[in-house]
C-alpha cells in the first residue's frame, strides 16, 4: 500500500501519461529487498551531487520541478550534529530537460572544517526532497600538506547512451565506483553525449534516445551525492551548461584560475565564439591537482585541427591559461603534482590520436616537465592506456576515456607505440578487443569500460584501473 500511495502521488504530480510511466519505473527501481519503497518526493528531478570541495568550501547541487521557488540545504557534522543542524540558502536557474521546465539549484557551504564528514539534505519550500532516503554524507577536502592517505577516482568520456536508451556497462561502472570508497572524483572531460545539453544530462524521470545520460537513476546518482566531482572541459559539451552543472568557483578563486565563459577570436581561421575557460588547481593532502582546459570545439576548427586550435588558444606563449599555469607551478615548487586535461599526451587509437602539440619546445608537456609534474591524466580516446615515462618528461601519463562513451580500438589503423606500456580497446562494430604493450586482449566491452582508483599515501601513489565488472587490471605503485 505504501508503494501504491507513492505511485499515486507521482501520477498526480507528473500528470502526463509518459511522465507517469517513467515515474512508475523509477519508483519500482527504488524498492528495496524488504518490499518497502525508498520514496523520493516527485519534486526532486536531479539527485543531489557535490562539487567544489576545496579548503573549507563545498557546493551541493540538485534539480527540482518548478512547483515552488525557494530552496535550501541543511547539513551537520556526522557523529556530533544532526544533518539539519545548519541551513544555507540555495540559488536557482531555470532550465529545460526534454521540454520539461525545472530549476537547477546550488547551495554553497563555507567554513566546513577539519578532517570531518558532513551529512546533508535538500529542501523545496520546506519539503524534504530526499523523502525517506538516508542523508548523504561527504568528507571535507584533505587539508593541504597533510600526509593522510586518501583515494580519488578518475572518470573520462562518460554520460552516454551512444545513440540508444540504455548503457548497462556504464551503469555497472557507476556501481563499481560507488563501492570503491573514493573520497572525490576528477573527470578527464567529455561528459553528457552527444552535445552536453541539459536534455543529454537529463534527470531521474526523462527517458529516450540520448536522454538522461548522466542524471538518470542508474548513473551518476550512485556517486555524486558522496564524492564531489572536479570535471575538466572536453570537446563535447563545450558550452555554458558545463560550467553551470559543475560549479568550481571556490577552487578557481583560491588558485587565481578561471571558470567563466569567454570570447575566443580567432585562432587558425576559427570564428569568434564564446567557450568555457576552465582551469584551476586545488590541494588535497600532499598533492596539488591541476584541472586544465586542453580541448576545443568540433564545430569550429577553421583551417586548423582540434589539437592545433587548442594549442593556439590555450598553450602558445602569452595565452592566459599557459601564463596562469606557469605562475602557479612556479609558486608551488616541489611536492606531488597531478595534471588532468582532456586531449591525450599519447594515444594508440587511430581516430583520437596522440596530441603532438603537447610535445616539444613551448608545449604543455614541456611546461609540466620543467616543473616536475609526476602524473598526467587524459581522456578523449575511448580506451585505457598507460604510457612509459619518456625521455625529457617528468611524468607518467594515462589515457582514461572508457567511462561509458562508444569504445574504440587500440593498435588498429595505427601501430602500438613504443611509449605504450599497457593499453586495451574495443570495437563495437567488429565486437572485438584490442591490446598493446603488456595487456591481454579483452574479451568483452565490459573489460574496457573503466575508471582509475588513485590512492595517495605519504610516500607513494597507487593507480588501480578497475573495469565495469569490478576487476582491477594493470595496477601500478609509484614512489613519486
243 and 365 both lie in a single domain: yes
Over the stretch 73-111, which tens digit does the pLDDT of each residue have?
Answer: 999 999 999 999 999 999 999 999 999 999 999 999 999
The reported pLDDT for the residue numbered 37 is 35
Residue 249: alpha-carbon gap to chain centroid: 16
pLDDT greater than 90 at residue 9: no
474 and 359 both lie in a single domain: yes
102 and 27 both lie in a single domain: no
Q: Residue 317 falls within a domain, yes or no?
A: yes
217 and 257 both lie in a single domain: yes
Q: Residue 326 falls within a domain, yes or no?
A: yes
73 and 56 both lie in a single domain: yes
22 and 60 both lie in a single domain: no
pLDDT greater than 90 at residue 207: yes
Any bridge partners for residue 186, and if so which?
154, 230
Q: How many structural domains are present in the chain?
A: 3
211 and 120 both lie in a single domain: no
The reported pLDDT for the residue numbered 32 is 33
Which CATH number fits the domain that encloses residue 388?
3.60.21.10
Q: Residue 166 falls within a domain, yes or no?
A: yes
The reported pLDDT for the residue numbered 35 is 32
Which range marks the domain in which residue 15 is found? 1-39
The reported pLDDT for the residue numbered 40 is 85
29 and 65 both lie in a single domain: no
Of 91, 115, 139, which one is at a domain's C-terminal end?
A: 139
Q: Residue 57 falls within a domain, yes or no?
A: yes
Residue 440: alpha-carbon gap to chain centroid: 28
For residue 281, which of 316, 248, 323, 235 has the smallest C-alpha distance? Answer: 248
Q: Residue 407 falls within a domain, yes or no?
A: yes
Of 139, 168, 203, which one is at a domain's C-terminal end?
A: 139
Residues in the chain: 480
3 and 92 both lie in a single domain: no
Which CATH number fits the domain that encloses residue 83?
2.60.40.380
As a whole number, mean pLDDT of residues 228-235 equals 98
Of 85, 106, 139, which one is at a domain's C-terminal end?
A: 139
Coil vs helix vs strand at 49? strand
pLDDT greater than 80 at residue 128: yes
Q: Residue 315 falls within a domain, yes or no?
A: yes
Q: Residue 434 falls within a domain, yes or no?
A: yes
pLDDT greater than 60 at residue 17: no
Q: Are strands 58-64 and 44-51 parallel, antiparallel or unpaired?
A: antiparallel
Total Cβ atoms within 10 A of residue 82: 13
Which of the pair, 12 or 460, is modelled with greater confidence? 460
199 and 290 both lie in a single domain: yes
57 and 155 both lie in a single domain: no
Q: Residue 145 falls within a domain, yes or no?
A: no
Q: How confident is the model at residue 39 (pLDDT cuts 50, 70, 90)?
A: low
Which of 22-31, 201-210, 271-280, 453-462 shows the lowest mean pLDDT across its residues? 22-31
pLDDT greater than 90 at residue 193: yes
- Give the span between the Cα atoms of 37 and 32, in whole angstroms: 6
Sheet holding 273-284, edge to edge: 258-264, 273-284, 287-291, 336-340, 375-378, 396-400, 384-387, 420-427, 432-437
283 and 385 both lie in a single domain: yes
Q: How confident is the model at residue 113 (pLDDT cuts 50, 70, 90)?
A: confident
Amino acid at each position: 500500500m505504501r508503494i501504491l500511495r507513492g505511485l499515486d502521488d507521482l501520477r498526480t504530480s507528473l500528470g502526463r501519461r509518459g511522465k507517469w510511466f517513467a515515474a512508475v519505473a523509477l519508483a519500482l527501481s527504488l524498492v528495496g529487498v524488504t518490499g518497502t519503497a525508498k520514496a523520493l518526493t516527485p519534486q526532486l528531478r536531479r539527485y543531489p551531487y557535490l562539487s567544489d570541495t576545496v579548503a573549507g568550501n563545498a557546493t551541493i547541487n540538485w534539480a527540482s520541478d518548478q512547483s515552488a521557488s525557494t530552496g535550501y540545504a541543511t547539513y551537520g557534522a556526522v557523529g556530533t550534529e544532526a544533518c539539519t543542524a545548519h541551513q544555507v540558502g540555495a540559488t536557482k536557474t531555470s532550465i529545460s530537460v526534454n521540454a520539461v521546465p525545472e530549476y537547477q539549484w546550488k547551495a554553497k557551504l563555507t567554513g566546513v572544517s577539519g578532517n570531518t564528514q558532513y551529512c546533508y539534505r535538500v529542501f523545496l519550500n520546506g519539503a524534504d526532497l530526499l523523502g525517506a532516503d538516508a542523508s548523504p554524507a561527504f568528507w571535507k577536502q584533505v587539508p593541504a600538506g597533510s600526509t593522510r592517505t586518501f583515494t580519488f577516482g578518475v572518470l573520462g568520456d562518460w554520460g552516454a547512451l551512444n545513440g540508444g536508451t540504455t548503457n548497462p556497462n556504464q551503469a555497472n561502472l557507476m556501481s563499481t565506483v560507488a563501492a570503491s570508497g573514493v573520497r572525490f572524483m576528477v573527470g578527464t572531460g567529455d561528459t553528457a553525449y552527444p552535445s552536453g545539453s541539459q536534455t543529454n544530462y537529463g534527470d531521474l524521470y526523462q527517458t529516450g534516445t540520448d536522454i538522461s545520460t548522466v542524471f538518470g537513476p542508474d548513473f551518476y546518482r550512485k556517486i555524486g551525492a558522496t564524492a564531489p566531482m572536479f570535471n575538466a572541459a572536453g570537446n563535447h559539451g563545450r558550452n555554458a551548461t558545463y560550467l553551470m552543472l559543475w560549479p568550481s568557483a571556490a577552487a578557481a578563486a583560491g588558485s587565481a584560475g578561471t571558470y567563466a565563459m569567454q570570447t575566443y577570436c580567432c585562432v587558425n581561421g576559427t570564428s569568434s565564439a564564446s567557450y568555457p575557460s576552465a582551469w584551476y588547481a586545488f590541494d588535497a593532502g600532499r598533492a596539488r591537482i591541476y584541472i586544465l582546459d586542453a580541448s576545443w570545439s568540433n564545430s569550429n576548427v577553421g583551417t586548423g585541427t582540434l589539437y592545433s586550435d587548442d594549442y593556439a588558444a590555450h598553450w602558445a606563449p602569452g595565452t592566459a591559461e599557459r601564463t596562469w599555469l606557469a605562475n602557479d607551478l612556479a609558486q608551488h615548487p616541489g611536492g606531488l603534482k597531478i595534471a588532468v586535461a582532456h586531449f591525450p599526451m599519447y594515444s594508440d587509437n587511430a581516430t583520437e590520436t596522440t596530441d603532438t602539440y603537447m610535445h616539444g619546445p613551448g608545449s604543455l608537456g614541456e611546461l609540466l616537465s620543467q616543473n616536475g609534474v609526476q602524473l598526467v591524466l587524459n581522456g578523449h580516446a575511448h580506451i585505457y592506456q598507460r604510457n612509459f615515462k619518456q625521455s625529457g618528461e617528468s611524468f607518467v601519463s594515462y589515457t582514461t576515456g572508457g567511462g561509458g562513451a562508444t569504445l574504440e580500438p587500440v593498435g588498429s589503423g595505427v601501430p602500438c607505440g613504443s611509449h605504450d606500456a599497457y593499453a586495451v580497446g574495443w570495437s563495437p562494430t567488429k565486437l572485438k578487443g584490442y591490446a598493446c604493450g603488456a595487456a591481454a586482449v579483452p574479451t568483452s566491452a565490459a573489460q574496457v569500460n573503466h575508471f582509475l582508483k588513485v590512492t595517495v599515501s605519504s610516500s607513494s601513489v597507487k593507480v588501480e584501473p578497475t573495469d565495469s565488472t569490478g576487476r582491477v587490471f594493470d595496477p601500478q605503485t609509484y614512489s613519486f
